[in-house]
Structure 1
Amino acid sequence: MTEKKDERGVKYIEDRWQPRIIFWLGFRPFTIEGLHQLLPELTDVALKEEITSLQNLRIVNPVVDEENKYSLTDDGNDLRNMVLTMSVWGRQQMDDSANRASTQIVEPEKDASMSELIKYNEKFNEYI
């Protein structure tokens, strides 16, 4: 007997890493090495598998740019906006339920250094 697959639309992106990858690649293009700095819990092999999966879903561009950086497709950018909206809304609901004031989170500047992005990533992980 085969397992019945969950048919909800939100399951299209079904693991914890894909929304994070989508966020960062929509923020600006990154190399595998840059993404790995932002997602250190992922092995290089796992990160490459996630990117391949997102490429197959037409969320990440199938071709890297001249600097070997990955980026999102137009559909990927649309999805990023929805994921961010849902993440912020969900965090606000969690905070409201716990009678806490929600912290406002603002994206860093596009030219922020990698160390600034890593620091930002710590707070961002509360949202996504």
Structure 2
Amino acid sequence: MTEAKDECGVKYTLDVLEDRWQPRIIYWLGFRPFTITELHQLLPDLTDVALNEEVVSLQNLRIVNPVVDEENKYSLTADGNDLRNMVLTMSVWGWQQMDDSANKVSTQFVEPEKDATMAELIKYNEQLNKYM
């Protein structure tokens, strides 16, 4: 990620979001805290090494908290939560625009329950893939 001073804020944000995995990590860590093992279950196509690198990158950007909690779980910072809200808004808006262009009626975006099981969250990835 570039940190050039002459770039605008939108470009900087898009550089973070153009990574395939970072928006998904931001989504899940804003949903509720997860261990690295749980994150790997939610993102099975990502290797352990790559997942760790992505989390460290997001920590360096002050999106993910630099320390895990007492249960060894990662979470978002306040800025990370702000970014998550923006990512969700952009994702839903983009999907609705694609549906409008195809003359389709958009379905409503509904997040799973906060106490959903890991199996339910893994299944929810099918829905989430339409948006991110």
Calculate percent identity across the aligned residue pairs: 80
> What residue ranges of structure 2 are gaps of 5+ in the alignment?
none
- Once the two structures are superposed, residues 70-121 of structure 1 have per-residue CA deviations (whole angstroms, 9 ceiling, x without a partner) of 0000000000000000000000001111111111121111110001111111
Number of residue pairs the alignment of both structures matches: 123
The question of 1:124 aligning with 2:94 is answered no
Tell me how far 1:14 sits from its aligned partner: 3.0
Partner of 1:94: 98
Partner of 2:42: 38
Which 4+ runs in 1 deviate beyond 6 A? none
- Once the two structures are superposed, residues 35-81 of structure 1 have per-residue CA deviations (whole angstroms, 9 ceiling, x without a partner) of 11111000000000000000000000000011110000000000000
The question of 1:26 aligning with 2:30 is answered yes
| Separation in structure 2 between the aligned mates of residue 65 and residue 12 of structure 1, nearest angstrom | 24
| Separation in structure 2 between the aligned mates of residue 13 and residue 83 of structure 1, nearest angstrom | 8
Give the TM-score of the pair, scaled to structure 1. 0.92
RMSD: 1.2
> What residue ranges of structure 1 are gaps of 5+ in the alignment?
none
| Separation in structure 2 between the aligned mates of residue 14 and residue 85 of structure 1, nearest angstrom | 16
Give the TM-score of the pair, scaled to structure 2. 0.89
Which amino acid counterpart does residue 106 of structure 2 have in structure 1? S
Alignment of 1:61-72 (within 5 A): 61-72=65-76
Alignment of 1:110-121 (within 5 A): 110-121=114-125
Kindly indicate which of the two structures has a greater share of residues assigned to helix: 2
Partner of 1:106: 110
Alignment of 1:43-58 (within 5 A): 43-58=47-62
